[in-house]
Structure 1
């Protein structure tokens, strides 16, 4: 019988017999292979050092997979370059992972790598479940000169790191279901942007959840013995409930809104508590732009600058000409993005139309660290918030000369995220800063208590008046059209290297504030504005 024909028969026997007897196929395979000749030649032949050829790769992979499927751990491990480690892993696959039967189907080799499909049957305490996945192995020339499978833990399952193993049993704890502020379970499939945060929350807070019954699962035990990931559920238990500050309806709107612009992110907050109501990124599993890394927020930072100027004595009706171009003390020349200029403008017009030159012309009103202290002491920026998941702190370094004038319009070395700017909008609406969070504040270990100074009634009224004007007749009017209620907004665009500026937008509607960024989006009213508006309409 030719070897190729024999392998075909072995494959057929494995596939047919496993459905009946699982690992009991070994004896048949052993008999079929008893008269086979080694693909590497006779014992007396010269030891080869060349990489295995295509025939050796195919035959070695087939022999290994057949032995593994038959339950012949010794034979399979003997076809690897690490017999002891492979023996432990393959024995554990049967005894610890409780795989009672398995069919292994090799695919087409790519060089020395051979992909294969796994169709396993898991059996535990009288319950069985099919489990299918894909893996791969690599054939190399062993020290004996024979081709062997290069042993790696990932041969057993592609997600296994070295030192890790598979285990099937009653889960060590119930699954953890995250609920929104109304008690609705949040499905990470429906809300893909939340997946990364649920992973972080599960790691940090699983022990604090109550209720639920554990299911029967197959999971990965890490090298340290800790469960790193559940791979398969045989019998589902009931989940423990863990509350978050999120809102399912607003989250759904946020997920949908960011899909319209690549490189976008949005965050929404409850203005009265700082609770994070929604957070979404596009792509959902890409960089978490919503909570950082941060970028210059552009003219949305003028909410902070305007607060400092109002505290320094300006009013919405103060005359502050808007020039087409201007600089201070022969420093950096600035131009306006939104309007060419208006020599008769008052401060409210400057804010609503985002006049850069008007703002930098008032730099003398905020000497020293005034702008920096306003950001810090009123809006809680430039501080460590500890929101319950990973986030990047904002930075308002302050400065003089060109750095000061640049910071007046949200450029220079200032960096912030949509989370930060949503909080700025929330503070403007509420009058007081409320530290953002995604879970109950008392659960967050090491959460600092941030003390800020509320806006005075006069400054609060003036700031809200200017933000309302921006939303109704200024640069935010188009985006905010159809957003009803008590509203206020601010647009922004910020240069960030080459290409179009990043588009920014912040706004509030009644008790919800939100901010968004669109990388290379250009004008914030056109790019980020519709995202924020869609989120606010859902609130």
Structure 2
């Protein structure tokens, strides 16, 4: 089996021991490792004294975190599934998944090594052996658990979630070892070169999606693998299955993509500079996706994220206002410090105002109240219809070749309706959506983005029922061009030559100290968008990433 390879990745440094409570790992006679513990161990819920039956409250102590984690990890490692499940706050769900870990995933000889707790969170590493008939392959990965107080009595327990067993698992997902059913694929870039995660680390989810979509028809044969098999909830979220370990290789088929190897490499370098960054670069006139990258290398936020786009949404809103004669680039337009609608009071960043300014000035400086002030003149469904009918968004009909989210612009009323005009409220987008918005402005019509050409499988691409009137389109390009050269996007776009347009955005998120930073722009026939979550202002965070790709595209 000289060609076996591991797909699992280590994501943390070597584990440490949790305090003095965890001693060295020793092996039992049955070959399954067990912790040598200091003191006794509670088996499952265990017997409680009268004092322990009192409801515990307040923050968890380090001793409680250590004890609860030790109880769970020791029981799981020694194969006492009922006891491990009883050490969680959801014994039924935990028992089912931990049982399947041995029965369906066929993982044996499990050794769990805890790391240093961070508050209530305890990282741990997992080593085991995957067994299929006469084949035995080692498996290693890192995971994490969180200790919580159980409802009812406040006892410390491991907060159950499937990702405790493996970080790629979501509710309803399973780990399964066997003949994969879906043959592997070799993905090619537009020049015919092989795409690998070794060269492009953030393309793992894209490769998984390509296999799910094209594996059965690309001409390959299946191998034996340990895979994440998605359940109903994950399937509804368009999450692809994932190979964690190959025990015997299948024969891959081939699928050609639209990715440009030089620009993809540039995108990988750019997102690596920022935590939680995502970017997409497209060809405006065709919709071809030339590059996509995420700094997290996990969930594909660039294609599947569902985030408030902040002021980048003002591109769509501006087109609506101009269409309806409620704004014109060079005409006076109000930008007060505050604007109220639906019982909410809205303000501008740093509470600025523009006196005697034009709509172009308000757009370039990203004045919220210039848009909120027009809410009373708009029907509840106006923004939704503009997004769907002109920009091809929020219709759930894109077919790019891998799972993607097409954006959401729901019909809203009162204060949420006003918030939607500035990319908050119920509006949700990702960099793919916002790159498409910039591309629609640049090319003059919506072209559905795609990663795999429709000629590969004969699928149809989504279309938009109408285009912007010539006058609206000219003004929208004027607004974005002015913003790129003299507005909030000017610093990021300063070194990008040619015919350019841009819009910045910052989106507030509940419970998040800094807003998500957004940026969408075009240069010539290239259009791009990016987001840096918790990054702050889009011009400072996502802007340099997008600008660098537009410049690299030459």
Q: TM-score range by the shorter chain?
A: 0.5 to 0.7
Query: Structure 1, unaligned stretches of length 5 or more?
Result: 1-53, 63-79, 82-88, 94-103, 124-130, 137-160
Partner of 2:225 in structure 1? Answer: 220
Conserved? CA contact 1:269–1:277, under 8 Å: yes
Q: 1:353 to 1:162 in 2, by over 3 A?
A: closer
Match of 2:70 in 1: none
SS at match of 1:465: helix
CA contact (8 A) 1:433 1:452 kept: no
Return the index of the structure with the highest Cα Rg.
Answer: 1
Q: Note closer, same or farther for the CA distance 1:393–1:445 as it changes in structure 2 (3 Å cut).
A: farther
- The aligned counterpart of 1:513 is 527
- C-alpha separation between the residues in 1 aligned to 2:387 and 2:485? 26
* Aligned-partner Cα distance in 2 for 1:455–1:468: 17
State how 1:316-331 maps to structure 2 within 5 Å.
Answer: 316-328=329-341, 331=343
Kindly state the Cα deviation for residue 426 of structure 1 after the two structures are TM-superposed: 0.6
1:431 equivalent in alignment to 2:444: yes
Query: In the aligned structure 2, how far is the partner of 1:326 from the partner of 1:450?
Result: 36
Matches of 1:532 and 1:321 in 2, distance apart? Answer: 30
- Paired with 1:197 and 1:250, the residues of 2 have a C-alpha distance of 16
Contact map agreement 2:492 2:544 (CA 8 A) in 1: yes
Q: Which residue in the other structure is 1:386 paired with?
A: 399
- 2:293 is equivalent to residue 280 of structure 1: yes
From 429, 442, 453, the equivalent of 1:416 is 429
Deviations 1:143-175 (A, max 9, x none): xxxxxxxxxxxxxxxxxx8884589xxx996x6
Tell me which moved more, 349-358 or 199-208.
199-208
Change (3 A) 1:399 1:252: same
3-state SS in 2 of match to 1:387? coil
- Deviation per CA, 1:28-62: give whole Å up to 9, x if none: xxxxxxxxxxxxxxxxxxxxxxxxxx999544439
C-alpha contact 1:265 1:517 (8 A) present in aligned 2: yes
Name which of 355, 365, 385 aligns with 1:373: 385
Q: Match for 2:516 among 483, 486, 502?
A: 502
- C-alpha distance after superposition, 1:317-338 (max 9, x if no partner): 110032122224x732111116
1:295 is paired with a residue whose SS is: coil
Q: Secondary structure at the residue paired with 1:394?
A: coil
Secondary structure of the corresponding residue to residue 31 of structure 2:
helix
Q: 2:212 aligns with which of 174, 193, 203?
A: 203
Tell me, what secondary structure is at the counterpart of 1:525? coil
Q: For 2:434 and 2:269, how far apart are their aligned partners in 1?
A: 21
Using a 3 Å threshold, how does the CA distance of structure 1 residues 326 and 166 change in structure 2: closer, same or farther?
Answer: closer
Retained in 1: the 8 A contact 2:182–2:212?
Answer: no
- The answer to whether structure 1 residue 336 and structure 2 residue 382 are counterparts is no
Question: Is 1:311 matched with 2:323?
Answer: yes
* Cα distance, 1:208 vs structure 2: 3.6
Tell whether the 8 Å contact from 2:225 to 2:243 is kept in structure 1 after alignment: yes
Query: CA separation in 1, counterparts of 2:113 and 2:329?
Result: 72
Aligned counterpart in structure 2 of residue 486 of structure 1, from 477, 480, 499:
499
Describe the SS at the equivalent of 1:231. Answer: strand
1:412-453 residue CA offsets vs partner (Å, 9 max, x unmatched)? 111111111111111011110011221122556875643331
TM-score, with structure 1 as normaliser: 0.66
CA distance in 2, matches of 1:452, 1:199: 32
CA contact (8 A) 2:223 2:248 kept: yes
> Aligned pair 1:461/2:474, yes or no?
yes
Partner of 2:238: none
Equivalent pairs counted in the alignment come to 405
- Who is 1:231 aligned against? 246
- Distance change in 2, residues 1:265/1:61 (3 Å): same
Q: State how far apart, in whole Å, the 1-side matches of 2:30 and 2:481 are.
A: 73
Is this contact kept in 1: 2:392–2:462, CA < 8 A? no
**Superposed counterparts of 1:28-47, under 5 Å:** none
User: Cα–Cα, structure 1 residues 133 and 340, in superposed 2: closer, same or farther, change >3 Å?
Assistant: same
SS of residue in 2 equivalent to 1:425: helix
Aligned to 1:188: 197
Residue 165 to residue 491, structure 1, CA distance change in 2 (3 Å): closer
Question: SS where residue 427 of structure 1 aligns?
Answer: helix
Segments of structure 2 that go 5 or more residues without pairing to the other structure are 1-23, 33-78, 81-101, 115-124, 142-173, 230-240
Aligned partners of 2:338 and 2:351 also within 8 Å: no
Task: Tell me by how many angstroms 1:350 deviates.
Answer: 0.6
SS in 2 for 1:526: coil
Q: Distance in 1 between matches of 2:461 and 2:533?
A: 31
- The alignment status of 1:523 with 2:532, answered yes or no, reads no
- TM-score, normalising length: structure 2: 0.64
Deviations 1:65-114 (A, max 9, x none): xxxxxxxxxxxxxxx99xxxxxxx9xxx9xxxxxxxxxx9999999xx99
Q: CA deviation at 1:527?
A: 1.3
Change (3 A) 1:184 1:334: same
- 2:43 is aligned to none
Structure with greater helix percent: 1
Within 2, Cα distance between the matches of 1:449 and 1:108? Answer: 48
- Write the deviation string for residues 219-260 of structure 1: whole angstroms up to 9, x where unpaired: 338899x996762678x98x6432111111221111111112
For the aligned residue pairs, the C-alpha RMSD in angstroms reads: 4.2
What CA distance in whole angstroms lies between the structure 1 residues aligned with 2:538 and 2:552? Answer: 20
